[in-house]
Structure 1
């Protein structure tokens, strides 16, 4: 995972140096954004208050430099287990048999008998956002993802799994750029200070299947199913 995070970091450094960072236009008109999808995910906040407290301190430092950007609320921070249907404009639950997706999700997650432990250590970034680096201690998250992939792909149901990229990390996006940065070099210097900071660990105890928008806003998210896993 570190190699992937390092590659992202290098692209961020270049973007800050050259001023070619990327702004998300939808964040300034969220009410018009009708992109929706289906995702299996796990939230950070319910599991470890010290973890989210440490993350909150980092976000406060960034906000002091760049108050105009989009900051994911702490209670919305999550790791994506698998994107079943990537967000697309106009998609609604009426377009699918949502119970069929729930049945597969529950069947796979119920069979998962290994704990998933994730350590959040340091931050990385891309030209468009800042992310928390998550590291799994073993291959249990990979196994759950593989089993979900296989089950949904064999079902014949509508999916777009891995259509954007094959998710292999355990990152959590926390800041997105939506307005011109006030001082890219100061932001880069701050991020460098937090590059290897230990935030805490997460013992995932529950996975959710949700109908969501691009940013996983809880005001829009509809929970389709929840399933506890081995702890």
Structure 2
């Protein structure tokens, strides 16, 4: 995972130094954004209040420098386990048999026996956003992702799993660029100070299957299913 995060960081540094960062055009017209998808995810807040409190402090520091950017509310910070149907314009729940997706999700998660613990240490970034680095402890997350991937891909149900890239990290996006940066070099300097900061850890015990928009806004997200991993395994 660190290799992936380091590659992203180098792209971010170059973007800040050269001024070729990327703005998200949809964030200025969210009401027009009809991109929707199906995702298996876990929110950070229910698992660790200290973790989200520490991330919130980082966001506060960034906001002082760049108040006009898009900041994910702490309650919406999450890690994506698997994007089953990537967000596409016009997609609706009526387009699929949602119960079939729910049944697979519940069956897989109920049978999962490996603990999932994630440590959040340091930040990375891309030319368009800032992220908190997550590092899985053990093989639990990889195994759950692979089982979900195999079950959905063999089911005959509509999916776009791995169509953009094969997810391999446990990061949480926290800031997206939507307005010209006031001072890219000052932002870079701040991010360097937080580059190796330890934010905390969480043991994953509840996973959700949701119908969501691109930014996982809770006001739009529809929970299709929730399933706990047997807490006794911890």
Q: TM-score range by the shorter chain?
A: over 0.9
Give the alignment's TM-score, normalised by structure 2: 0.98
Aligned equivalents of 2:205 and 2:29: distance in 1?
35
Structure 1 residue 149: deviation in Å? 0.4
Aligned equivalents of 1:164 and 1:218: distance in 2?
24
Aligned equivalents of 1:104 and 1:213: distance in 2?
21
Counterparts of 1:1-231 in structure 2, within 5 Å, are 1-231=1-231
Structure 1 residue 115: deviation in Å? 1.3
Aligned length: 231
Structure 1 residue 130: deviation in Å? 0.1
Displaced runs of 4+ in structure 1, greater than 3 A? none
Deviation string for 1:145-168 (max 9, x for gaps)? 000000000100000000011000
Aligned equivalents of 2:154 and 2:51: distance in 1?
37
SS in 1 for 2:46: helix
Aligned equivalents of 1:118 and 1:47: distance in 2?
11
Structure 1 residue 47: deviation in Å? 1.0
Give the alignment's TM-score, normalised by structure 1: 0.99
Aligned equivalents of 1:141 and 1:20: distance in 2?
34
Aligned equivalents of 1:172 and 1:47: distance in 2?
14
Deviation string for 1:52-83 (max 9, x for gaps)? 00000000000000000000000000000000
Are 2:114 and 2:139, in contact at CA under 8 Å, matched by a contact in 1?
A: no
Deviation string for 1:69-106 (max 9, x for gaps)? 00000000000000000000000000000000000000
Are 1:114 and 1:230, in contact at CA under 8 Å, matched by a contact in 2?
A: no
Deviation string for 1:94-138 (max 9, x for gaps)? 000000000000010000012100000000000000000000011
Deviation string for 1:4-51 (max 9, x for gaps)? 000000000000011000000000000000000000000000111110
Structure 1 residue 230: deviation in Å? 2.7
Aligned equivalents of 1:214 and 1:47: distance in 2?
23
Q: Provide the alpha-carbon RMSD of the alignment.
A: 0.4
Are 1:213 and 1:220, in contact at CA under 8 Å, matched by a contact in 2?
A: yes
Uncovered stretches (5+) of structure 1, i.e. residues with no partner: none
